[in-house]
Amino acid sequence: MFKRYASLFGLIICCISFKTFSQQKTDPETIRPKMAWFEDAKLGIFIHWGIYAVNGIDESWSFYNKKISWPDYMKQLNGFTASKYDPAAWADLIKTSGARYAVLTTKHHDGVALWNTKENHYSIAKNTPAKRDVLTPFYAELRKRDIKVGAYFSLIDWSHPDYPGFLKDSSRYKAANDTAKWNKFRSFFQSQINELSNQFNPDLFWFDGDWEHSAAEWESEKVRSGILARNPNAIINGRLMGYGDYDTPEQNVPVSRPKFNWWELCMTVNNNWGFQHKDTNWKTPAQIIALFADVVSHGGNLLLDIGPREDGSIPAQEVTVLKELGSWNKKHSEAIFGTQAGIPAGHFYGPTTISKDSTTLYLFLQGHTQGQIMIKGLSNQIKDITVVGKGTKLTHQVVGKISWSPVPGLIYIDVPAMSIDKYMTVLALKLDKPVSLYRGKGGFE
Ligand code: FHN
């Protein structure tokens, strides 16, 4: 019964909100096997690290939007030292958070590569006092800890003389009007992608900036097949003009379940992707944990962004968020990792997840909820209720169940103050059989 409602719900949602789904060129059934680790991962850490951390200004956008001139922006090359960069400590922190993958900006729209690119263009290794490729050691540390390796790569390269776009309201040329130049740029960016593939063999390619050109102009199909020829299991995010594997909403927690397949919300801990001295608008661990539960409840992953300083140190607030998220994840692991999206909204006021075999329903209690909570339309018998990570057993009461009617009663559970978690309490409801929901009108229907 649950499956029937889940598909109906999915179908309705799909029809209303998923333009991008219908535009995807990849067949979900073909890619399903390689998506398995991603589907179970739930949490990834995004890292925006680049020369923009020197002045603490918008990554690339600051010169594009003319808040600073391009020459002044590029002067930040001289201040990027990576002097405190400790890739093992970064990887340890990521592991502690519970994340299963990490995505680092190998090159943002400003064109500065974090590895020693063979192409004749900017890199941290050649043009900054850091004087080294910072990708290799980080990826090695991630792999030692069994964390999947992700490479963010901007298709847009506003600093490249052969790239059409440059500043807001002024471009160098139009791709369609100078094919020779555009072809030169294409061969440049595709060579850089080949370098990443061959040197680092990322588990995940995270493209960005596809909006400036069409799939035909980027040669998205060729880019995709080139990556897959090197590694057929590589996952590609959905910013390759239809040639990616999953959707990437940004900064906006979906208000309803996005779609059947795979998606990932990328979100900052404060207001910006990269390090900015003035940005102190940090989300609290409680807020991040609630957002994370919300995303997982809707069947997605959270790609939580941090912005290290130019020297490679990570702001204390981000360290705290990752550590607190990690200890909460450790305690509530069974309710998050390897679960599936929860029941549709309306049955319970809060996020939910379901075990893979569908016989355990997890309820995430908002804030410091204590006292009575209620579930509507759950047709199952509840065999047992446990506070996850604590083991406390709770009792429940079923009210209003008429023996001859298909309408299930209302379920009330008392949550005592002594069982609540400092961030978000989770209850595990063991059911008599796979989740079965009633969504009728009542009476005989
Ligand atoms: O322009 C970028 C932005 O700077 C940042 O990198 C985000 C992360 O998803 N992506 C782009 C905007 O969608």
Question: Which one, of 56, 79, 51, lies nearest residue 67 by Cα?
Answer: 56
CB 266 near ligand 1, within 6 Å: yes
**pLDDT on residue 11:** 37
List the chain pLDDT tens, one digit each, 445 residues.
444 444 434 433 333 333 344 467 889 989 999 999 999 999 999 999 999 999 999 999 999 999 999 999 999 999 999 999 999 999 999 999 999 999 999 999 999 999 999 999 999 999 999 999 999 999 999 999 999 999 999 999 999 999 999 999 999 999 999 999 999 999 999 999 999 999 999 999 999 999 999 999 999 999 999 999 999 999 999 999 999 999 999 999 888 888 768 999 999 999 999 999 999 999 999 999 999 999 999 999 999 999 999 999 999 999 999 999 999 999 999 999 989 999 999 999 999 999 999 999 999 999 899 999 999 999 999 999 999 999 999 999 999 999 999 999 999 999 999 999 999 999 999 999 999 999 999 887 7
Ligand 1 atom nearest the C-alpha of 60 is 4
CB 208 near ligand 1, within 6 Å: yes
Q: Which residues pair with 142 in a beta bridge?
A: none
**pLDDT on residue 23:** 62
Ligand 1 atom nearest the C-alpha of 239 is 13
Answer whether 331's CB lies under 8 Å from 421's CB: yes
What is the 55 CA–ligand 1 centroid distance (Å)?
18
Write the CA distances from 437 to 49, 354, 357, 365, 376, integer angstroms.
46, 13, 16, 20, 9
**pLDDT on residue 35:** 97
Provide the token pair at 20: 């991008």
Residues in the chain: 445
Ligand 1 atom nearest the C-alpha of 48 is 6
Q: Can you tell me the distance from the alpha carbon of 44 to that of 39, in angstroms, rounded to the nearest whole number?
A: 11
What is the 246 CA–ligand 1 centroid distance (Å)?
16
Query: Nearest 5°: phi and psi at 386?
Result: -130, 145
Domains of the chain: 7-336 (3.20.20.80), 340-431 (2.60.40.1180)
Provide the token pair at 420: 């609540």
**pLDDT on residue 407:** 95
Query: Nearest 5°: phi and psi at 128?
Result: -130, 165
Closest-CA residue, ligand 1 atom 4, reads 59
DSSP states of 257-277 as a string? ---SS-BEEEEESSS-SS--T
**pLDDT on residue 259:** 72
Question: Exposure of 393 by Cβ count < 10 A (0-12 exposed, 13-18 middle, 19+ buried)?
Answer: exposed
Q: Can you tell me the distance from the alpha carbon of 315 to that of 308, in angstroms, rounded to the nearest whole number?
A: 7
**pLDDT on residue 256:** 87
Write the CA distances from 32 to 29, 36, 151, 264, integer angstroms.
5, 7, 21, 16
What is the 208 CA–ligand 1 centroid distance (Å)?
7
Pocket perturbation via mutation, ligand 1, pick of 273, 279, 302 by most ligand atoms within 8 A of CB? 273
CB 250 near ligand 1, within 6 Å: yes
